[in-house]
Structure 1
């Protein structure tokens, strides 16, 4: 059946080949069980909760959503839909879970109801509590589950009789726009903080965020295809406007409340929270201009905070995955930019140096830290370990699971047992291995967790290289079967090109869509210019106040440099992109029509004043303090197009009408400005579609329509 599908249909049906892939790993402290999520096939959206028993060499389902819901469809609350949109979660069933410290009990929401699973036995039951339930989390001792319902943070005893006697609210909304225990929009969308409460190691209280979004301006997202439905009200903190007010409180199961105190006026952003048995709660808070951040330890008796470390940067500071955290002997683990490199620190001591570029901390052991990083080959992201104490203290680092080829890897570890997910450019999908990593650096393979993802009907063949004076990382993809004598090819640039997202990675599946476009007769170029992650702090921060100028310049430079080595027809060049890539595509068509002859502009941020505070102000400053930066780096203003050349190039603008991240106003204002200036363009509105475009038919036809537009615009059909 798979072989009969076209790539666009298979790509859509498998949700970009993400279905059937094991993910969301937890490891029991004794290293005998691995818990994870996976659907039954590469086209099944519903994840089951699985347990892999390493001693018995078998795996079994601990929660099956089809059985738990009796075959009925899921019903998602608005809060759950919003949470999934922020996390870019497009699957169904059990999409997330949390466990107790022993990894004996798991809790998860399903259709707004609360379920718990006894993982060792593989049994599952519902706790009848008020709903709809969001983000349930067991206490470390497994006796309680805390969860959010209707903006209240509640706790329920797990019990053994199937009842929920003792369910109660620890904190309830005390005003309109107030919630407890949830991450606000800006934290989930831009800081990758998706949680709003944390259990104490002793299971006797919780650290909870109170969010008041009443100061945030309201936008209304309507679907014109359904005029009978009221618009959805969204609290959207656009650049230069108020953010939600976020505070923290310690909530005891006995009803006691202690407010946490820090200088919220100077540091309003709560970027990270960490609470482990190794020490008191740690907070990472940022100033609004993001030139300063503070690592704070919380006194759980009084709520007072104590400064542990301060970061200052005239460009910006940044939160990183997995930090701050404590080592078991209570030393602060952090990631910071120093001496031109992004380094891993334990206490005041750097454990890494250039050329290693640290991406995030994965686990902190008794003697070492497991982390992800890239080195000289920027598309090669690996798992590393560095020692900070003990006999293995080498003052350096080593790579875990060395491979004879470039790769993209991530890992989860507890004790000596690690689950490593490994991808490479030579084969599709991911290989998931369970390894024992001993203190002396020895690796032992314990098991493999199979993936049920479908095998793509085409094979991506990226050619990795660098281009131009700045050695811009690139991948070039030519049509399958292309031979040197076939002559030059029309070119399609396929970038993201902006912060937080790297496209040139040593992973086969990330190039499948690019290869499909190549097989339609294009030479496809993917280039990661300045601003994209992976090389150095200076590389990432070069876009400050110059986002449009720098990112577009690097795409042009990469294209021209590659044309000296690859069969690129520079008289027929197009560009496509989504989100930041959509902005970059529109920018290319407007400002460099001498280079680009057509553009597919997907969900673009055209007016930077309409995008959110934390992201936009980091790169452009506050609009009241530097309004010219917003003009220079936008495609439109209230007056119309910005810096448009005289030549007109055709554009296809695509936008989901239900997008609450990059709202459709961006594309509507852009289209109006193009129309007023007499510029040819097409607009493709997607009814009911968000920023993710998860619908199968929509995702498939988007690819087909883009190819037809590009061929028509470049005179290829």
Structure 2
């Protein structure tokens, strides 16, 4: 078998694929995102950088003339002009917010608008800016972006629904200023340095999908404000060994079995009045969701610490008293899903629940979907229907591997909005929908604007063109019908014989990898071009197939490994897979799974790249870990069984001992580097071969261009050395 030389670097504009992949942030720069549609259907607001290699995002408006004229885009906020050419400066709090959201770009990466979508507010370099969005609008609603003179650094500014005020957070204090820059006042002031108002605590933003800590009332006269008290949370210290002269970063990290932040909720009037929202915080300490629309009272979803029960609560905005609207219970855990709970415009509760083996949409007392759909999120609750994201459910005639679609759901049934194989999402207001579609055969997402179901515009993308084409074959494997994607080299011919295998999973909760989209598989395809048959398998524990599929990992993550084994063995009957040379690579949970694979199934896996792994679940956070494993105090045997450090195979040198490359960012505050260091110590004590690649200054993300590029190249080098038998391979060489 001969591998064509050009695939070793996949040049584009003189850059290798790894370098271009890093420079373009996985070909995501230049892609429009963060859409908001105005209620009158005349404007779509979004952010987008200037090219496929430009990291600075600008704020844009696409005007949709009511008379049916030609749609036109315009920039309404340009960071370089607003900062007069100065470099953007981020506060530690803003860096932490971007780390939680995995945001690696710069400029205007987020914004908020008033109810009419005529005024936007955003923070830039810790300063507060507003801009009118309506072309030719009245004073304050159109024209140039302006800076409001407020104390900083500013976090998460949000206009009131009527556009008269802007609320924002600085130094843990929630403040309110007039949209004209006048009347800036402190509203909620922290009592000590370990308390903050208006910000999401660590586990809310990292694990719950709640990235904010305050909500305006529909009448713009008061706010619902979260207070987070970190005093009881244990402090960890993250040092930078490359700079021993710098003090370690002190962070509040709620590890499994240890105290969480105490979260309370208050109603603040613009006049400074304060009323506490009361519920049984002892039994339900987690504030998972908050929703306040014009339909009814503020709505909360609070969870018990074990996450097996939760309450949907309606809040009396005058007294702060709460009334239970619904109790949610599940013997495994109650799943948190985007967009719910909320009120429909006619005041009925909209929820998604696990019922009779399906994840169903219910409005009021009426269940609107059956087992043919697995509902993932509510995208918009309209007067005539609910817009949802869903995939084929257990009762679907066609499994649609890797696909997700947008549906309009009502008492009349479910009508699909998106068409064709792909990964589809949407944003809607009134008659206008922005439908964003990623497809297997087309690079990058396409954002189409629909009015009453008819396409009226396509939002331009400036993304770079990938220098190779991903060629995933979507299929199912084994008796459990495990969703898989298989990628072979583009130069592969049948006579070449079986290929060494690279399993490339995430394989765990909240991380689907088998998605019917092109760019999601580019890195896997690049590895395939190096001479591998790459297999991506979404086994039990991964989301969006069925509730039972997701909850199969309760108290036992090893079922995720079982499905990787089952998938590769079943696929070898249909694809050219050399089962005598099987490697695995992964990051985060995928890194844990890779380590688990070579330690517990060395008969199947022959080498592993173990990236940012959780090796001891006692060192990971409460909300994630306790959902699946309980607590270390109550379930010590469960934690021991899931740990990579207590595996029986580490107690003494064992054969076969499979080589491992352990990679970890030293600045990671999510999966701290202690995980990798403890694994290396255990492997050394057991006499097991391994390499450790510490990434100085790198967090759980790897946005640095040179780091991201060379990390891919070093992985290929390690895998070829470990598996052997590649074209031109020499033992100990680069292959």
Q: Per-residue deviation at 1:348? A: 1.8
One of 430, 435, 454 as aligned partner of 1:415: 430
Looking at structure 1, the residues matched to 576 and 161 of structure 2 have their Cα atoms a distance apart, in angstroms, of 59
Deviation at 1:622, TM superposition (A): 1.2
Give the direction of change, closer, same or farther, for the CA distance of 1:625–1:420 in structure 2 (3 Å limit): same
Any idea what SS the aligned residue of 1:4 has? Answer: coil
**Whole-angstrom CA distance in 2 between matches of 1:401 and 1:460:** 22
Q: Distance in 2 between matches of 1:604 and 1:348?
A: 43
Q: Whole-Å Cα distance in 1 between the matches of residues 243 and 303 of structure 2?
A: 41
Q: Does 1:155 align with 2:176?
A: yes
Secondary structure in 2 matching 1:542: helix
Aligned to 1:507, which of 500, 517, 541?
A: 517
Matches of 1:647 and 1:247 in 2, distance apart?
A: 53
Q: What does the per-residue CA deviation read over 1:22-53, in whole Å, with 9 as the maximum and x for residues that have no partner?
A: 00011111101100000000000000000001
Question: Are the counterparts in 1 of residues 195 and 227 from structure 2 also a CA contact under 8 Å?
Answer: yes
1:653 matched to 2:674: no
1:49 alignment counterpart? 59
Cα distance per residue 1:317-348 (max 9 Å; x no partner): 11110011101110000000000000011012
Determine if contact 1:222/1:232 at 8 Å carries over to the other structure. Answer: yes
Confirm or deny: 8 A CA contact 1:591 1:645 kept in the other structure: no
Q: What is the correspondence of 1:30-49 to structure 2 with a 5 Å cutoff?
A: 30-49=40-59
Distance 1:346 1:454 in 2: 42
Q: Contact 1:273–1:281 at 8 Å: present in 2 too? A: yes
Kindly state the Cα deviation for residue 176 of structure 1 after the two structures are TM-superposed.
Answer: 3.1
Task: Tell me how far 1:643 sits from its aligned partner.
Answer: 10
**Structure 1: gaps of 5 or more residues:** 388-392, 438-442
User: The residue matched to 2:297 in structure 1 has which SS?
Assistant: strand
2:449 counterpart of 1:434: yes
* Counterpart-to-counterpart distance in 1, 2:654 and 2:340: 45
The answer (yes or no) to whether the contact 1:49–1:94 under 8 Å persists in 2 is yes
Structure 2: unaligned runs, 5 residues or longer: 1-10, 135-141, 393-398, 730-735
Provide Cα deviations, 1:382-409, integer angstroms capped at 9, x if missing partner.
001101xxxxx41x20100322xx1101
After superposition, what is the alpha-carbon deviation per residue over 1:537-568, rounded to whole angstroms, capped at 9, x for unaligned? 00000110011x20110000000000011000
1:165 CA drift (Å)? 3.0
TM-score, L = length of structure 2: 0.94
Deviation, structure 1 residue 57: 1.6
| Residues 1:708 and 1:323: Cα distance change in structure 2 (over 3 Å) | same
Please give the per-residue CA displacement for 1:660-690, whole angstroms capped at 9, x wherever unaligned: 0000000000000000111110000000000
| 1:416, distance to aligned residue in structure 2 (A) | 1.1
Q: TM-score, normalized by length of structure 1?
A: 0.96
Which residue of the partner structure matches residue 489 of structure 1? Answer: 499
Match of 1:273 in 2: 290
State the SS of the aligned residue for 2:292. Answer: strand
How many residue pairs get aligned? The number is: 699
1:112 paired to 2:133 = no
- For 1:545 and 1:284, locate their aligned partners in 2 and report how far apart those are by CA, in whole Å: 25
3-state SS of paired residue (1:577): strand
The residue number in structure 2 matching 1:17 is 27
* Distance 1:134-1:528 versus aligned 2 partners, 3 A rule: same
Q: 1:58 aligns with which of 69, 72, 77?
A: 72
Offset of residue 128 of structure 1: 1.0
1:117-138 C-alpha deviation (Å, 9 max, x unpaired):
1112342000010000000000
What residue number does 1:140 align with?
Answer: 161
Which digits, 9 at most, give the CA deviation of each residue in 1:557-605, with x for residues without a partner?
A: 0000000110000111100000000000000111111111100000000
Distance 1:645 1:307, change over 3 A: farther
Q: What's the counterpart of residue 689 of structure 2? A: 680
Q: What residue is the counterpart of 2:344 in the other structure?
A: 327
1:241-296: per-residue Cα shift (whole Å, max 9, x none)? Answer: 00000000000001110100000000000000000001110000000001101100
Alignment partner for residue 530 of structure 2, among 514, 520, 532? 520
Decide which of 352, 363, 368 is 2:385's aligned counterpart: 368
